[in-house]
Structure 1
Amino acid sequence: MKSGFPVYDICKFSVSQQQDVIISQLGPYLAALQKLHFPHRHDFYHLVLFTAGGGSHSIDFQNFLVQPFQFYFMAPGQVHSWSFEGEIDGFVINFRADFFKSFLLNPDYLDQFPFLGTQVDHSVIEIPVDSRPVLIDLLNRAVLESENKRRFRVDTIRVMLLQLFLLIGEINTSEKYQTLESSKSTLLKRFEKLIEHNYLELRRPKQYADILCVTPNYLNAVCNDVLGTSAGDIIRNRIVLEAKRKLINLNVTVTEIAYSLNFEDNSYFCKFFKKQTGLSPNSFRSAIH
């Protein structure tokens, strides 16, 4: 474990040091970045499809056993680390958060794909056998396109990535959102998005319910029906997640983390963290060190 907690820009992974998108075979990519197995995060989207190999992969402190034809989707800011076994291969896609900004009329278009969000429950998708040939063909063509110098290369890649997202969206028929009526689906997505942008200031479900123009009871009922947890727990889980992300950095004290998360004092933060996780902040640090 490093004492400093790195946040990498896409330029670190780019030969030209200025790319907005990188698409590559996974084997050569990992060979060039062997030192990145320890926990870190990116300020860009990081997508990985495994076609060979094994081991484990952690996203925001949830562990997954790596298996062929698992597709991992990591949003900017998520913490991840890996420990691979055997000869790893597949594909990797990195793109900046604003890569589609000038391309899509609707700035929220990508929000309809839960796997591009920050909820780890949506981050890993198994690719069924009958979908693999189409997916591999698309990714191989995207790799080739990324290597050429044609005039419309970047826009062609954007189109290919949108094809990929639509394909994954069709594959991922088990999404909880797909069983919802559209009004509840929209409400839940808006609630999760509001939390992502406001969890440091807004801590109570009523504050979010007021913004969403629903009653706190209705918001809570939707969360319980779909996610099996209360609206309050969803907010608290997001605060705990950010605390865990910050606790990885041994150069920052627990007191500094408490204040950065808008807790009035260190004692209250420690009680809150232990109630939610069963561990004190220092115990959590020791467990992941």
Structure 2
Amino acid sequence: MNTLTVPVYSLEQDEFMSDRHFKIYHFEGDFPDRSELLIPHRKDHYLIAFIRKAGSRQWIDMNSFDLKDNTVYFFGPHQLIVKEEVKQLWSTGIAFTKEFLSLYGNGALLKLPLLVNPYNGYELELTAADILFIEELLQKLQTEYRQKGEWQQKMLSAYLTVLLTYLSRLYTAQYKGNEVNSEQQLLKRFQAKIDESYQQYHEVNDYASMLNISSGHLSDVIRSQSGKPAIKHIHDRLIMEARRLLFHTDQPVKDISFHLGFADTSYFNRFFKRETGLTPSAYRDQTRAIYP
């Protein structure tokens, strides 16, 4: 996928792993010189980070927040991330790709609430019991990570399964503890399809075909479950990506328009203004004045 000038970082192979699908990061105060993290970037993998102590601020998809002590943070592939500064950090991070889960028969984990993230959360508050459980599990993961052998990756996959399942239980309790019915599942599937295809497809009919249902039924369900029309979900996704690129890159509006699947820049300008009240250029100027 063309990401314009926003770099996408993959996992780097290290001495402990033979592939680039799983990695453990551990910092005790000193943080390596990674000045490239201070510029807008994306990751092509999942990252679960247990922050023991930190004081820096980050931006995720235009939302800013301060990292808190004794808190778990979680990020999915291709979210736009910016760190305001690189400070000392006491943390352990578990990074892994979709391929890592699939390779060991754990593809179903991709449907866990933490990874699906239906409520667009980024952090999990922990009790003392949660901290103890997670610390013990992270220690097991780190020990196994340093033991090369034919069972290494299977053991890592098993421990990761426990961690993701435990954190998904916390996620569900913290954000919303309701069971998801079939219509809510359709809403989530629709939103997932938009995330995959918003650059190529801008019409409800296209997504109804992907989901093998009629556009009328899709529209009715999406409106009843979300309170807004199906087409608005598509437009909102396009606007979010446009805002990311306008704020975080210097690409001309016409390039951003083409990247988002608009053949006519003037139509993109009218679309953006209708949805936000500002032209793309005015939005870029205004946001950069507020967040220089």
What TM-score bracket applies, with the shorter chain setting the length?
0.7 to 0.9
Q: Which runs of 5+ in 1 are unaligned?
A: none
Q: Distance in 2 between matches of 1:226 and 1:137?
A: 40
Question: 1:93-123: CA deviations, max 9, x gaps?
Answer: 2222311122116x4x133223324767233
Tell me how far 1:229 sits from its aligned partner.
3.9
Q: Distance in 2 between matches of 1:86 and 1:33?
A: 11
Q: Distance in 2 between matches of 1:40 and 1:76?
A: 11
Asked if the contact 2:10–2:45 (Cα under 8 Å) also holds between the matched residues in 1, the reply is yes
Do the aligned partners of residues 254 and 86 (structure 1) sit closer, same or farther apart at CA in structure 2, a change above 3 Å counting?
Answer: closer
What is the root-mean-square deviation in Å for CA atoms of aligned residues?
Answer: 3.0
**1:249 counterpart residue number:** 249
Asked if the contact 1:56–1:83 (Cα under 8 Å) also holds between the matched residues in 2, the reply is yes
Q: Distance in 2 between matches of 1:31 and 1:52?
A: 16
Do the aligned partners of residues 217 and 261 (structure 1) sit closer, same or farther apart at CA in structure 2, a change above 3 Å counting?
Answer: same
Helix, strand or coil: the match of 1:173? helix
Find out whether 1:198 has 2:194 as its counterpart: no
Q: Which moved more, 1:197-206 or 1:171-180?
A: 171-180
Helix, strand or coil: the match of 1:67? coil
Tell me how far 1:80 sits from its aligned partner.
0.5
Do the aligned partners of residues 185 and 110 (structure 1) sit closer, same or farther apart at CA in structure 2, a change above 3 Å counting?
Answer: farther
Q: Which moved more, 1:155-164 or 1:232-241?
A: 232-241
Helix, strand or coil: the match of 1:10? coil
Question: 1:50-101: CA deviations, max 9, x gaps?
Answer: 1212232211111122212332222221110123586421211222231112
Question: 1:187-212: CA deviations, max 9, x gaps?
Answer: 12221221122222332334434543
Q: Distance in 2 between matches of 1:284 and 1:30?
A: 35
Asked if the contact 1:74–1:118 (Cα under 8 Å) also holds between the matched residues in 2, the reply is no
**2:182 counterpart residue number:** 183
Do the aligned partners of residues 244 and 155 (structure 1) sit closer, same or farther apart at CA in structure 2, a change above 3 Å counting?
Answer: farther
Tell me how far 1:131 sits from its aligned partner.
1.4
Report % sequence identity. Answer: 24
TM-score w.r.t. length of structure 2? 0.82
Question: 1:267-287: CA deviations, max 9, x gaps?
Answer: 111222233334432344443
Q: Which residue identity lines up with residue 255 of structure 2 in the other structure?
A: E
Q: Distance in 1 between matches of 2:28 and 2:86?
A: 12
Find out whether 1:264 has 2:257 as its counterpart: no
Number of equivalences: 283
TM-score w.r.t. length of structure 1? 0.83
Question: 1:139-162: CA deviations, max 9, x gaps?
Answer: 122122212223311221111111
**1:10 counterpart residue number:** 11
Asked if the contact 2:22–2:96 (Cα under 8 Å) also holds between the matched residues in 1, the reply is yes
1:22-101 equivalence runs, <5 A = 22-27=23-28, 30-83=31-84, 87-101=88-102
Tell me how far 1:214 sits from its aligned partner.
4.8
Do the aligned partners of residues 168 and 147 (structure 1) sit closer, same or farther apart at CA in structure 2, a change above 3 Å counting?
Answer: same
Q: Which residue identity lines up with residue 241 of structure 1 in the other structure?
A: M
Q: Distance in 2 between matches of 1:130 and 1:228?
A: 38
Q: Distance in 1 between matches of 2:191 and 2:145?
A: 34
Asked if the contact 2:45–2:96 (Cα under 8 Å) also holds between the matched residues in 1, the reply is yes
Q: Which runs of 5+ in 2 are unaligned?
A: none
Q: Distance in 2 between matches of 1:196 and 1:86?
A: 32
Q: Which moved more, 1:111-120 or 1:18-27?
A: 111-120
Asked if the contact 1:57–1:63 (Cα under 8 Å) also holds between the matched residues in 2, the reply is yes
Tell me how far 1:265 sits from its aligned partner.
1.1
Tell me how far 1:261 sits from its aligned partner.
1.4
Asked if the contact 1:37–1:81 (Cα under 8 Å) also holds between the matched residues in 2, the reply is yes
Tell me how far 1:225 sits from its aligned partner.
5.3
Q: Which residue identity lines up with residue 249 of structure 1 in the other structure?
A: T
